[in-house]
Amino acid sequence: MHSQQVTAGPPPNDRAGRDSTTGADPRPPASGADRAPLVFDVIIAGCGPTGAMLAAELRLHDVRVLVLEKETEPASFVRIVGLHIRSLELMAMRGLLDRVLQHGRQRPAGAYFAAIPKPAPEGLDSAYAYLLGIPQPVIERLLEERAIELGAQVRRGRAVAGFEQDDEGVTVELADGEQLRSRYLVGCDGGRSTVRKLLGVGFPGEPSRTDTLMGEMKVGVPREEIAAKVAEISETHRRFWLRPFGEGVYSVVVPAAEVGDRAEPPTLEDFKQQLRTIAGTDFDVHSPRWLSRFGDATRLAERYRVGRVLLAGDAAHIHPPIGGQGLNLGVQDAFNLGWKLAAQIRGWAPETLLDTYQAERHPVAEDVLDNTRAQTELLSTEPGPQAVRRLLTELMDFDEVNRHLIEKITAIGIRYDFGEGPDLLGRRLRDVDVKQGHLYGLLHRGRGLLLDRTERLTAGGWSDRVDYLADPTADLDVPCVLLRPDGHVAWIGDDQRDLDDHLSRWFGKPAD
């Protein structure tokens, strides 16, 4: 099997460059049929946004990472995806936002829920209250480059065919028969995940009931004619639009005639036929850049972890793309899992830390599946759903309703269950002003952070895992906060003994 390997050599003082137990270099020899199995800390199946983000997060903690991608080349088609507020915050936390912004287009937040045309409420609690439209191949490339810069290995044309796990690790077998060894395996290999299927984890939910065609292509009629027809049709067909994409190219979405095999892309004639059926014209569409079909299947993995094998992204959950939450949900999975898995490998994780990955992220996915189910119903042309849509459109004129829905879609309303405490506990903290600039600039290394407005506390024996900033001027209305590496508030208070208890809860035993 053809294999392309992309590597970035770690710096000389990087402990991840060599196996700490055997002294063996985990990078493969240039050639040779007698190549020995490799030893890694984590093997990731899939180099999409979830897998690449997870690899980068692990490398921040010197974890030896190998990413296996079955495709030999990145996707060539240009599909625009949207990064929501929370994902933009995560990019800012790791110093990636400026790089990402160069390739995207900012759009006002709003009209996310079932495409109901309501602007975002004023005063959203974020410095990044907009949507960033960016080509999917570009965000995938940027995240993969980031992982490689940090020392991750990425091998293309390598598919996982099987694995066996034991008390010490996972032996992964590739499609060409090669065997690799790692401490953990993470399936980030999409909705048809091989890892999930081999793991035997149930994937309950609903199969696709309706299919939609989506693509980008040129049109042969004036823009004004298209706009008028789309405005007329979209009053009754919510899964229909033609949106200009520049240089005569349009993004085209139209209901499919029937549920089909999404492994086979639709043809241009399929688009023409459906456009004529619904709009009475095919708009002389031609020269497609890419064509695809998606359904409204909704499924959620029963478990995110079985022993040393974990699932993230579409391997753990699939849902209709309405609201544009899929890529964001996967990237946020990776952000939650990365530091916890690294802590487990580095040996300082509290006993139940890795279990909090499923405890926190599974309910988030459940909520996303529910809200996409609701949005899908609101796109129906049937009288009942349309009546509900009209009612919800009225209700969204109330600021509280509109704010609740946009915070749900953009994931800034998430509150993990950390027990009783102030409302801020368990929530992510906005990018507040601090004396060194902005809070998120202090989180680039993926460590915890103690922000102390009293100037009386200390991170003490946890200083190898938690940074400290004494800043009485910080823009907060609480005395002190302890942030996890993912930016969620783990503790609020001003008592050192109470702080030490929470440092132990999230960051393990203090160093000697």
Mean of pLDDT values over 449-469: 97
pLDDT of res. 16: 35
Considering only CA atoms, which of 132, 1, 17 is closest in space to residue 410? 132
Taken in order 39, 42, 48, 53, is the CA torsion positive or negative?
Answer: negative
Mean of pLDDT values over 6-21: 33
Share of the chain above pLDDT 70, in %: 91
Q: Would the pLDDT of 248 be above 90?
A: no
pTM: 0.88
Q: Would the pLDDT of 167 be above 90?
A: yes
Q: Which two tokens stand for residue 502?
A: 């929470």
Read off the pLDDT band of 168 (50, 70, 90).
very high
What DSSP character marks residue 313?
G
pLDDT of res. 262: 67
pLDDT tens digits along 139-155? 999 999 999 999 999 99
Read off the pLDDT band of 417 (50, 70, 90).
very high
Residues 150, 62: Cα–Cα separation, whole Å: 9
Residues 180, 36: Cα–Cα separation, whole Å: 9
Identify residue 242 by its one-letter amino acid code: L
User: Quick one: three-class SS letters along 242-300?
Assistant: EEEEECCEEEEEEECCCCCCCCCCCCHHHHHHHHHHHHCCCCCCEEEEEEEEEECCEEE
pLDDT of res. 246: 74
The highest-confidence range among 30-39, 102-111, 371-380, 486-495, by mean pLDDT, is 486-495
pLDDT of res. 24: 33
pLDDT of res. 243: 86
Read off the pLDDT band of 237 (50, 70, 90).
confident
Mean of pLDDT values over 443-452: 98
Lowest mean pLDDT among 10-24, 89-103, 474-488: 10-24
What does pLDDT average to over the chain?
Answer: 90
Beta strand pairing status for 39-45 and 65-69?
parallel
Mean of pLDDT values over 52-68: 98
Cβ atoms of 323 and 112 within 8 Å: the answer is yes
Q: Output 371 or 79, whichever has higher pLDDT.
A: 371
